[in-house]
């Protein structure tokens, strides 16, 4: 019988609270991420063979290959441990006019061919390496995608004579916003221009949080669980860990660009790029890379390891700008465990166009964040305009809106700017991205500011009372924008500027 990959951990929690669970976990070979897997007989569970591929701690969770029959014996009543299948969370994608899921090639046989060209809106220069998405049925996500060549051109095909929406997203850090066209024939050449990014620029984040009151002397630390962070000179990354099985633990630089952008919204110091500061400049950042090099998914085991290490490393706040995975007991319990160790867990609500709040944001103990925007904080012609929808209407400012892509629901705790947010990108670059992935770190940065001004809360014992106190700090320093509870929860963070 073929083996499958499972996580072995105590029943009823992440850490072994009874000696029997600790004893069983301690018998497993202690294999670390890059070491050779080790097999041994599970004599206590009928003599089946298990192969250990990764270990968090001697008596902590193990990642193993098992036959399903052996896993069933481990999960039998009376066993002090359990076997839970490894599952995966998708790599977060930018939302510049696109969707996070597309039925490419669906909806019929291609009959109409057309070219899309992408150029600089100011100079007319062709933009190569630009992701183009063309939808003939946006509601059902039927479309096709391609990347422009060096001449800024890509050829695509459609089963219908009309294209509802075409978006063009230049490579992150290339110096552009994204562009778009609506309702164009699927023939000839569709021309799209991308507005250049010019700094300084007052985007949605800096409109509300141009300067903040972060006090670095308190010692607040924020953990960024993502694709890794940096390199970037404007980020104060004090520790990095890679929790991907098979990769070196010290390799925590960004495997894509997403984590660096998230980190900058939390704590970029703005030294390299004028005005591109995070909410908590120079805050101590711990980078936990859970997505492997070239991988489009992160396992629940990598996330579990990252949250265990974040507690060990003394993080006060964790940012999880990821989601879309299944309902999984491992990450659900890891969030509860992290809260019980004094940390606030801020999570992106998801980018599935008004769908319900995704996992892990929907778990109890998480602080789910929706994305809002404001007209006038991105250039005319950028595809951020596609995110302007109403109702709901803001009663605080008629220019505000909840982003079209944002997930919503009764779990939403707060909202924050997440449309056209400018932040750091690897190799000392900056650029705009949109998503609840951007809104969550704004909230994490706001929480860091509030905690830095509350040393009495920061110095509390690291337990659930502490994380509850941090949560209350955040909730009581929010202002509702009038969108309604399912869209904004307590509202948007607001605190004294300096």
Torsions phi, psi of 327, nearest 5? Answer: -70, 110
Task: Please check whether residues 265 and 128 belong to one and the same domain.
Answer: no
Alpha carbons 46 and 465: distance in angstroms, whole number: 43
CA distances from 183 to 163, 164, 193 (A): 5, 4, 16
- Residue 397: active-site member: no
At 444, which CATH number? 3.40.50.200
Domain termination residue (choose one: 86, 112, 140): 86
The answer to whether residues 26 and 110 belong to one domain is no
Asked whether residue 380 is assigned to any structural domain, the reply reads yes
Nearest to 3 by CA among 85, 61, 73, 80: 85
Residues 325/88, Cβ–Cβ less than 8 Å? yes
Q: Which domain-ending residue is among 194, 226, 242?
A: 194
Query: What percentage of the chain's residues is helix, strand, coil (to nearest 5)?
Result: 20, 30, 50
C-alpha 314/C-alpha 228 separation (Å) is 18
CATH number, position 47 = 3.30.70
Q: Examine residue 381 and state whether it is found in any structural domain, yes or no.
A: yes
Do 213 and 179 belong to one domain? no
356 and 243, same domain (yes or no):
yes
Angle in degrees, CA 417, 255, 298, rounded to 5: 80
DSSP-assigned states of every residue in 316-342: SEEEE----B---HHHHHHHHHHHHTT
Going by their DSSP bridges, the two strands 142-147 and 103-104 should be labelled as: parallel
Q: Is 55 helix (H, G, I), strand (E, B) or coil?
A: strand
Q: Looking at 232, 258, 261, 404, which residue is catalytic?
A: 258
Shared domain for 317 and 335, answered yes or no, is: yes
Q: Domain span at residue 150?
A: 103-194
In the listed set 162, 194, 226, which residue is the last one of a domain according to the structure? 194
> Does the annotation count 261 as an active-site position?
no
Q: How far is CA 62 from the centre of its chain?
A: 25
Burial class (CB in 10 A: 0-12, 13-18, 19+), 303: buried
The residues, any chain, with a CB within 8 Å of residue 245's CB and separated by 6 or more, are 33, 53, 54, 63, 299, 301, 302
Phi, psi dihedrals of residue 221, rounded to the nearest 5°: -125, 130
Mean pLDDT by 10 residues, the chain (498 residues): 91 83 89 92 87 91 94 91 95 64 63 96 97 91 93 96 96 95 97 96 95 94 97 97 96 95 97 90 97 94 97 98 93 97 97 94 97 97 95 95 97 98 96 96 98 97 98 97 98 77
Q: Which of 226, 234, 316, 328 is catalytic?
A: 226
Question: 114-141: buried (b, 16+ CB within 10 Å) or exposed (e) per residue?
Answer: bbbbbbbbeeeebbbebbbbbbbbbeeb
d(CA 129, CA 174): 10
35 inside domain = yes
In a domain, residue 96? The reply is no
Residue of 255, 437, 452, 467 marked active site:
437
- Which strands, in side-by-side order, build the sheet including 162-169? 103-104, 142-147, 131-137, 162-169, 179-185
> Is residue 94 domain-resident?
no
> Are 391 and 424 within one domain?
yes
Same domain for 394 and 317: yes
Token pair belonging to 65:
């290959």
Task: For residue 226, indicate whether it is catalytic.
Answer: yes
CA distance 454 to 181: 48
The pLDDT value recorded for residue 99 is: 53
What is the CATH number for 157? 2.60.40.1120
Let me know whether 54 and 137 are in one domain.
no
How many other CB atoms are there within 10 angstroms of residue 228's CB atom? 31
Q: Give the end-to-end CA distance of the chain in Å, rounded to a whole number.
A: 64
Cβ-contact 9, 305 below 8 angstroms: no
Determine the pLDDT at residue 64: 96
Which residues does 43 contact at the CB level (< 8 Å), separation at least 6?
A: none
**Residue among 50, 82, 44, 85 at smallest CA distance from 66:** 50
Question: Count of domains in the chain?
Answer: 3
Cis preceding-peptide flag for 16 (omega within 30 of 0): no
Is the domain of 145 the same as that of 48?
Answer: no
* Same domain, yes or no: 190 and 214: no
What's the predicted TM-score (pTM) here?
Answer: 0.95
Distance CA(392)–CA(13), nearest Å, equals 40
| Closest to 359 in 3D by CA, of 404, 329, 403, 317 | 329
């Amino acid at each position: 019988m073929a083996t499958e990959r499972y996580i072995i951990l105590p029943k009823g929690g992440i850490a072994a609270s009874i000696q029997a669970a600790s004893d069983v976990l301690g018998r497993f070979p202690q294999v670390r991420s890059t070491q050779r897997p080790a097999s041994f007989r599970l004599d206590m569970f009928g003599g089946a063979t298990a192969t250990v591929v990764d270990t968090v701690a001697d008596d902590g969770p193990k990642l193993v290959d098992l036959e399903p029959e052996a896993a069933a014996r481990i999960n039998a009543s009376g066993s002090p441990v359990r076997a839970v299948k490894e599952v995966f969370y998708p790599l977060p994608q930018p939302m510049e006019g696109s969707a996070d899921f597309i039925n490419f090639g669906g909806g019929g046989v291609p009959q109409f061919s057309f070219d899309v060209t992408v150029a600089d809106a100011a100079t007319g220069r062709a933009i190569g390496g630009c992701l183009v998405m063309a939808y003939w049925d946006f509601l059902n996500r039927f479309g096709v995608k391609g990347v422009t060549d060096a001449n800024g051109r890509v050829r695509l095909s459609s089963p219908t004579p009309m294209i509802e929406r075409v978006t063009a997203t230049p490579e992150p850090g290339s110096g552009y916003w994204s562009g778009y066209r609506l309702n164009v024939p699927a023939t000839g050449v569709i021309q799209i221009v991308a507005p250049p990014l010019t700094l300084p620029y007052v985007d949605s984040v800096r409109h509300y949080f141009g300067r903040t009151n972060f006090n670095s002397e308190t010692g607040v630390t924020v953990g960024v669980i993502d694709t890794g962070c940096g390199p970037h000179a404007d980020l104060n990354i004090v520790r990095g860990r890679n929790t991907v099985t098979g990769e070196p633990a010290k390799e925590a630089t960004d495997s894509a660009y997403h984590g660096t952008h998230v980190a900058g919204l939390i704590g970029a110091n703005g030294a390299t790029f004028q005005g591109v500061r995070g909410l908590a400049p120079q805050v101590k950042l711990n980078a936990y890379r859970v997505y492997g090099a070239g991988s489009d998914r992160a396992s629940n085991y990598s996330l579990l390891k990252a949250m265990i290490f974040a507690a060990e490393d003394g993080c006060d706040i964790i940012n999880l700008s990821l989601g879309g995975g299944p309902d999984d007991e491992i990450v659900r319990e890891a969030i509860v465990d992290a809260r019980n160790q004094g940390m606030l867990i801020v999570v992106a609500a998801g980018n599935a166009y008004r769908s319900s709040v995704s996992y892990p944001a929907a778990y109890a103990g998480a602080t789910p964040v929706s994305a809002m925007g404001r007209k006038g904080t991105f250039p005319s012609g950028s595809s951020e305009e596609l995110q302007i929808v109403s109702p709901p209407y803001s009663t605080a400012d008629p220019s505000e809106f909840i982003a079209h892509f944002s997930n919503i629901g009764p779990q939403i705790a707060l909202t924050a700017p997440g449309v056209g947010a400018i932040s750091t990108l690897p190799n000392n670059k900056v650029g705009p991205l949109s998503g609840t992935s951007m809104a969550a770190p704004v909230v994490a940065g706001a929480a860091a500011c509030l905690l830095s001004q509350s040393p009495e809360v920061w110095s509390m014992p690291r337990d659930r009372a502490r994380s509850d106190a941090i949560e209350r700090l955040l909730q009581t320093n929010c202002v509702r924008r009038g969108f309604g509870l399912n869209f904004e929860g307590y509202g948007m963070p607001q605190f004294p500027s300096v």
